[in-house]
């Protein structure tokens, strides 16, 4: 059985961590947006706490890959893009269903396809780094 799985039907540890880290990135962004909207400094502190947690998890996860310089930052942006596209697609699904709008549903499918491409790009990128 693949490392990081408890059962054969489980997703890999990498998949779980990709989703987790992408969510942490979005939590950071939401707290920053909340600060910008409310000017309550508590949101800056919350964002910093989440950023540190995300950084610790990313560092531990990425130790198995041979990363150079800006790779860490690029991975963060790739994950953010992947998750952002999925959030857009989810909103479009709701709109398409509510309005029975085939054009919006097709656009949603395109966005989901692009999200999958970004995910595949990340996996390929990490696999290439492992080979070096």
Q: List the structure tokens of 127.
A: 């696999």
- Counting as low any pLDDT under 50, the low residues of the chain are none
Q: What is the pLDDT of residue 67?
A: 78
Predicted model pTM: 0.81
Q: How far is CA 3 from CA 14, 15, 25, 116, in A?
A: 10, 12, 25, 23
Q: What is the pLDDT of residue 94?
A: 96
Q: What is the pLDDT of residue 27?
A: 97
- Distance separating alpha carbons of residues 22 and 24, to the nearest angstrom: 5
Q: What is the pLDDT of residue 4?
A: 62
CA angle at 70 for the pair 131 and 126, rounded to the nearest 5°:
30
């Amino acid at each position: 059985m693949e490392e990081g799985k408890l059962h054969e039907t489980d997703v890999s540890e990498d998949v779980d961590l990709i989703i987790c880290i992408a969510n942490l990135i979005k939590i950071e962004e939401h707290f920053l947006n909340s600060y910008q909207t409310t000017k309550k400094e508590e949101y800056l502190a919350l964002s910093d706490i989440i950023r540190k947690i995300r950084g610790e998890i990313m560092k531990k996860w990425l130790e198995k890959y041979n990363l150079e310089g800006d790779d860490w930052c690029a991975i963060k942006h790739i994950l953010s893009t992947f998750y952002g596209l999925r959030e857009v697609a989810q909103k479009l699904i709701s709109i398409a269903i509510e309005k029975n709008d085939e054009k919006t549903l097709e656009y949603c499918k395109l966005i989901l396809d692009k999200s999958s491409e970004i995910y595949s790009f990340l996996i390929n990128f990490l696999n290439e780094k492992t080979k070096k």
